[in-house]
Amino acid sequence: MNNSVGNTARLIGAGLRALLVLTVICGVIYPLAVTGIAQALFNDKANGSEIKDSSGQVVGSSLIGQTYNLPKHNPDDPEEAAKPDLKWFQPRPSNGLGTNSVNTQYSLILSGATNRSADNGAVEGKCTKDAEEGTLCAQVVAAKEAVIADNSTAGYTVKPEDVPADAVTSSGSGLDPNISPAYAELQVHRVAEQNKLDVKQVEKLVADHTTGRTLGFMGEPRVNVLELNTALEALTKS
């Protein structure tokens, strides 16, 4: 009986010691080591890839897209559609984003795709104005018309064939921070006109903020919209 109690006590003691050691290693030492390495070697990425403006204020993350819209006339009206602020470069559409119905105290961003097929709403295999309202084709057609209207200026007319796919479709997450160089270049004349800048200045801005393929072969060339608009703001203030 005494041996049984003693063995049980030793097993419990060994288990508690193992628990204490593993807690210290896995719960204290390891997290501190990983955090220290990340802060030392990848400080920017470890802190959320923050982007700061010319005054040093954090304006967002390079990993999450932002919208650049004019204030609503009635912020509490869910039916009122937000209108883009045309003095800024615009990101991809975010039609896949859901609405926050869980906690209405905060305007949370919900990531998600439309989950619709490429031919959703297509008429005889093509997206036309006859597409049923609410379908992907109807959204694409409406978005294309808006892109043409918004970006055509007195001296520059956007042609339908010039509108790239990312100008009218959202990404899988709906939070893509990047647009294609083609979409950025399409917006140059409108941004220059709205900000009273020379077109060449804005074209150079886009070129300076165009990133090539990762390692030269992965992905596509891209332009980070937040970084571009932050540089645009600095340019307009200079």
pTM of the model: 0.81
Name the strand (E) or helix (H) holding 60.
strand 58-61
Indicate the burial class of 203 (C-beta count within 10 angstroms; 0-12, 13-18, 19 or more): middle
List residues bridging with 110 in a β-sheet: 98
Compute the distance between CA of residue 144 and CA of residue 161 in angstroms, rounded to an integer: 10
Per-residue pLDDT of the chain (238 residues; tens, 9 = 90+): 567 877 888 899 999 999 999 999 999 999 999 999 999 999 888 888 998 888 888 888 888 888 888 887 887 777 777 789 999 999 998 755 445 455 445 455 567 777 788 888 888 888 888 888 888 899 899 999 999 999 999 989 999 999 999 999 888 787 889 999 999 999 999 999 999 999 999 999 999 999 999 888 999 999 999 999 999 999 998 8
Cβ neighbours of 16 (radius 10 Å)? 10
Where b means 16+ CB within 10 Å and e means fewer, 55-93 reads eeeeebebbebbebeeeeeeeeeeeeeeeeebbbbbbbb
